[in-house]
Amino acid sequence: MKTVLVTGGAGFIGSVVSRELLSKDYRVVCVDNFTDDLYDPALKEDNVKRLSGNTNFILYRTDICNFGELGDVFKKENPQFVVHLAARANTRKAVEEPRSYIDVNIGGTLNILELSKEHGVANIVIASSSSVYGNSTNMPLNENDPADRALSPYGMSKRADEILAFTYHHNFKMNITCLRYFNAYGENNRPDLVPYIWGNLILDGGEIEVSGDGSRSRDYTYVGDIADGTIKAMEKPLGFEVINLGNHRPVSLKELVTVFEVVTGLQAKVKSRPSNKASVETTYADITKAKKLLDWEPTTPIEEGIEKLITWLRDNRLKNIV
C-alpha cells in the first residue's frame, strides 16, 4: 500500500482528493492546521470525520510553516507521493494581507519541496491556480501564455510556487506537476466561494449579489473531476509540468443563476454589486495538455455538479453543519 501525504487534506479539494485516494487503496496522511482564517473549521472537522472511519486515513494537525514538525511527519510516514494543497486561498484577502499569503503559500511550499527532496518522494503535485493568468484575454488560457500579471498576491504566490518547483526539478531531478485549478465547486465546497454562497442564499430565499452586469464568466469545474485529475497527475511522474485542470466550458454569472434556479426549482432574488478589482473577467481553460499528458478530461456538466452541491448543502444544513 502506497502512502500519500496530502497537505490541506481537511479542506474543500483536499478532503475530496483524500476520499478518492482512500477508495483507490492508498494510505492517506493528512496534514492540516485547521485554520479559521477563511471559514469555520467545524466544516473541516466534519470533512475529516467522514474520512476517519477508514483506518488508512492518518491525521496530523500540523502547520506546513513549521519545518520541524512537518519534518517529523515525513520521517514517521515516509510518503511515496505528496499532494500539496494547503494554502491561504482567497484572492481578495490576499490583497489585504499579502505578507501572510507569501509566508504560507511560498514558505510552506518551500518546506514541502525541501522535505520531499530529503525523503526521496517519487512525485509531487502542487495546487496552482488559474489566478496566475491575471486578466489575460487570450482565451482559452493556455499553459504557454504569459503568467506574470496576476491581479492579487495570491495568484503571484501560486506562480512563484511553480517557478520554485522548477528549480527543485532542475537541480535535484525531482518529479513535480503543478496543476492550475479552475474554479472548483461541489460537495464540501468552501463557504467563501460563489457557488456555496449562492446555493445557501437561494435555499434560504435570500438575495444573491451578482457582480457587475453578470457577464463575468468562470470555468466552474466539479471537484470530483479536479480530484480525478489530481490523482492522475500523482500517479504519472512527468519530470516537471504545469497543467490546467478546468471544465473548458465557462458559464457567465447570469447563466449560473439560471442553473441554480433549474436545479433547486426556486426563483433567485438578484441584486447587482460593483466588481472587485482583484477578480478577473473570465476564466476558461485550454485542457489540451491535460488530455494529452494525463488522459484527463472533466465528465461532470455544470447542472449535474450544482445538483451535487445542492444535495450536499441540503443534507448538511439539516444537520446544522454548514
Question: Would you name the residues annotated as active-site residues?
Answer: 154
CA distance 150 to 280: 9
Nearer Cβ to ligand NAD, position 88 or 169?
88
How many positions of this chain bind ligand NAD (CB under 6 A)?
Answer: 29
Which of 8, 199, 250, 305 binds ligand NAD (CB under 6 A)? It is: 8
Nearer Cβ to ligand NAD, position 13 or 278?
13
Q: Considering only CA atoms, which of 133, 141, 135, 29 is closest in space to residue 86?
A: 29
Nearer Cβ to ligand NAD, position 103 or 209?
103
Binding of ligand NAD by 156 (CB under 6 A): no
* Choices 3-11, 71-79, 141-149, 281-289 (CB under 6 A): range interacting with ligand NAD: 3-11
Binding of ligand NAD by 181 (CB under 6 A): yes
- Measure Cα distances from 130 to 75, 111, 152, 293 in Å: 33, 23, 12, 19
Which of 190, 216, 232, 308 binds ligand NAD (CB under 6 A)? It is: 190
Binding of ligand NAD by 284 (CB under 6 A): no
Which of 91, 111, 183, 200 binds ligand NAD (CB under 6 A)? It is: 183
Binding of ligand NAD by 11 (CB under 6 A): yes
Q: 6 pairs with which residues across the strands?
A: 30, 83
Which of 18, 33, 109, 152 binds ligand NAD (CB under 6 A)? It is: 33
Nearer Cβ to ligand NAD, position 38 or 266?
38
Binding of ligand NAD by 110 (CB under 6 A): no
Query: In the range 116-135, which residues lie near ligand NAD by CB under 6 A?
Result: 127, 129
Binding of ligand NAD by 111 (CB under 6 A): no
Q: Which set of grid coordinates corresponds to residue 11?
A: 479542506
How far apart are CB 170 and ligand NAD at their closest, in Å? 23
Which of 2, 3, 35, 264 binds ligand NAD (CB under 6 A)? It is: 35
Site string for ligand NAD, 59-88 (x = CB under 6 A): ----xxx-------------------xxxx
Binding site for ligand NAD (CB under 6 A): 8, 10-14, 31-35, 38, 44, 63-65, 85-89, 104, 108, 127, 129, 181, 183-184, 190
